Amino acid sequence: MSVTPPDAVEIFDTTLRDGAQFEGISLTVEDKLRVAEQLDWLGVAWIEGGYPQANPKDEEFFRRAAAGELALSTARLVAFGSTRRPAGKVDEDPTLRALVGAGTGTVCIVGKAWDFHVTEALGTTLDEGVAMVEDSVRFLVDAGLRVFFDAEHCFDGLRANPEYAFRVLEAAATAGADCLVLCDTNGGSLPHQVQELTAQVVGHFGDLAIGIHTQNDSGCAVANSVAAVVAGATQVQGTVNGYGERTGNANLMTVIPDLTLKLGVATLPPGRLERLTSVSRHVAELVNLPPHPADPYVGSSAFAHKGGLHTSALGKAGSASYEHVDPSSVGNRTRVLVSDLGGRSGTAMKAAEFGVELDDRAAAALTERLKQLQAEGYVFEAADASLELLMREAAGWTQPYFRVEAYRVSSYHRATPSDGGGDGPVTTSTEATVKVWVGDERLAAVGEGNGPVNALDEALRVALSSRYPALERIRLTDFRVRVLDGPTGPGLAATGAVVRVLVDFTDGEATWTTTGVSPNIIEASWRALTDGLVFGLFHAGD
């Protein structure tokens, strides 16, 4: 089947509606407003804001958007709902009335295109199923609204009973729908099926816009969306980072660059594709889910290179040797990962990222040192700050801020007797003492905290803050510990479990992570802590 994709498609984002059904996501109204702002900044054509009749939060979102709290410059807001109920009247249907009152010029309604769902789930006749769609679309069009029709379970319907599925689509078109959206609601279709059936619908309806909405239950949501566009679909529905019910929706962070960079199909206004990675990560923060590092195009690992063969080729032949697109085209960047799988060329390239020049001898020596450290349990892929410090030391730099003489940590646990004679409330406290040298001056300080890392951090700040004001801006944001399988490096054979600590820092603008490894969790934490403060002071210029 010979087909030509359209020159451009409209991106319809449903993160705030379908995406919000993803397990673990619970958006406040403020969250929804901020996500919508990000989508508008990206440049999508449509933002589906939710189901105004379903819950108070969505009602408030549309009310506040209509009142001017959401100023959109590129996108248009869409309210979502469903057709009238079986044997119901459109002018009395609460869902349709809520759509009319939502304050949007465009609405999207869903109706069933699979005969099985009409007879079994709705418990009505096929003729009534068609009437529900036609009556509802016409009512909304007569109310002055632009209507998109989501044909639910459309691909299942087109395979099981194509005559009925086409009756439903024709009813929506006849009643005035601007776009017929073919939905792979169960997510079970494969790309060749979606392309063939979409082409049939496009051929049948001629100039009427056809859209695609896919779920990812078979892992094909992105591929199915691209296949539909190749077959002539001109609207693509999906979500940021693929959020959505069950296994998610089509990931627009992948669909958009696939269409634009691979097929030459325009998806966003000029200059907006470079915002893709930023929007992906910002929305991930807003929904309080970690970004997936392996996501295509926008993931932190999407253009990360670890193997020695890869990093060597990058250094000799450039990024095209192992990167299918320019990372900057989607707002991402090339990263070289230093590991025991790499070689000195990768080490030198990573050092260059940090602005550190290593000659061949220094790069070779550092590569061997890094391999040894990783054998002991260090992993620098998630701790660039510690890696940068090692590379600067390999180039001859010595940190000038302080020298450690000693540190000590004491923890107290005290149970207060209760009036009844049993154990009462338990109080815990931790005290740390540090002794450091700043130049020729010896400093000692005591810090208290709710744990050893907090107490050590406080003691160091007491000792150093008067010399280094930048410490006031540097703070710890996260602390993670992993117990490793056991000692693997020389001199560790007789020890117990080895722990790896990762500590995150921020100065209010940049963030960085350091690491420490030791059989002693306090020592591992101390190494990560001091690395983090040294890194922060270096980049603060103190």
The mean pLDDT value of the chain amounts to: 89
Distance of alpha carbon 494 from alpha carbon 464, whole angstroms: 36
Distance of alpha carbon 4 from alpha carbon 231, whole angstroms: 7
pLDDT tens profile 249-268: 999 999 999 999 999 999 99
Confidence band, pLDDT 50/70/90 cuts, at residue 400: very high
Residue 150 has pLDDT above 60, yes or no: yes
- The two beta strands, 106-112 and 76-82, are parallel
Confidence band, pLDDT 50/70/90 cuts, at residue 421: low
pLDDT of residue 463: 95
Give every CB contact of residue 32 below 8 A, 6+ residues apart in sequence.
16, 49, 50, 57, 61
pLDDT of residue 420: 54
pLDDT of residue 493: 45
The DSSP 8-state label assigned to residue 380 in this structure reads -
Q: In 3-state terms, what secondary structure has residue 164?
A: helix
Query: Which CA distances in Å does 533 have to 232, 259, 403, 451, 523?
Result: 56, 44, 13, 18, 15
Residue 473 has pLDDT above 90, yes or no: yes
pLDDT of residue 492: 47
Percentage with pLDDT > 90 across the chain? 69
**21-35, 292-306, 402-416, range with greatest mean pLDDT:** 21-35
| Stretch 29-51: mean pLDDT | 95
Residue 342 has pLDDT above 90, yes or no: no
pLDDT of residue 256: 98
What beta strand segments (E) does 123-266 contain? 146-152, 179-184, 209-214, 235-238
Least confident of 39-43, 167-171, 283-287: 283-287
Give every CB contact of residue 151 below 8 A, 6+ residues apart in sequence.
111, 113, 157, 165, 168, 169, 172, 180, 181, 182, 183
Q: Which of 65, 52, 58 is nearest to 96 (CA)?
A: 52
* Count of alpha carbons within 13 angstroms of residue 417, beta-carbon side: 3
Interior angle at CA 410, CA 406 and CA 415, nearest 5: 175
pLDDT tens profile 374-384: 888 887 877 88
pLDDT of residue 309: 46
- The two beta strands, 403-417 and 76-82, are unpaired
Percentage with pLDDT > 70 across the chain? 89
Give every CB contact of residue 181 below 8 A, 6+ residues apart in sequence.
12, 108, 148, 149, 150, 151, 210, 211, 212, 213, 235, 237
What residues pair up with 106 in beta bridges, in sequence order? 78, 146
Residue 186 has pLDDT above 90, yes or no: yes
Distance of alpha carbon 63 from alpha carbon 188, whole angstroms: 36
pLDDT of residue 354: 84
Asked if 166 and 137 touch (Cβ cutoff 8 Å), the reply is no
Asked if 367 and 347 touch (Cβ cutoff 8 Å), the reply is yes
pLDDT tens profile 194-238: 999 999 999 999 999 999 999 999 999 999 999 999 999 999 999
pLDDT tens profile 115-125: 999 999 899 99
| Stretch 80-88: mean pLDDT | 95
Confidence band, pLDDT 50/70/90 cuts, at residue 317: very low
| Stretch 179-207: mean pLDDT | 97
Asked if 153 and 115 touch (Cβ cutoff 8 Å), the reply is no
Distance of alpha carbon 258 from alpha carbon 269, whole angstroms: 16
Other beta carbons less than 10 A from residue 351's beta carbon = 24
Size (the chain), residues: 542
In what helix (H) or strand (E) does residue 483 lie, and over which residues does it extend?
strand 475-483
**Given CA atoms 92, 95, 96, 98 in this order, what sign does their dihedral have?**
positive
pLDDT tens profile 61-77: 999 999 999 999 999 99
| Stretch 138-156: mean pLDDT | 97
Residue 495 has pLDDT above 90, yes or no: no
Residue 417 has pLDDT above 70, yes or no: no
Least confident of 189-193, 217-221, 384-388: 384-388
Residue 96 has pLDDT above 90, yes or no: yes
pLDDT of residue 285: 82
pLDDT of residue 223: 98
Asked if 377 and 498 touch (Cβ cutoff 8 Å), the reply is yes
Confidence band, pLDDT 50/70/90 cuts, at residue 340: very low
Distance of alpha carbon 527 from alpha carbon 501, whole angstroms: 9
Domains of the chain: 10-272 (3.20.20.70), 304-394 (no CATH), 402-467 (no CATH), 473-542 (3.30.160)
Name the residue with higher pLDDT: 500 or 426.
500
Asked if 10 and 46 touch (Cβ cutoff 8 Å), the reply is yes
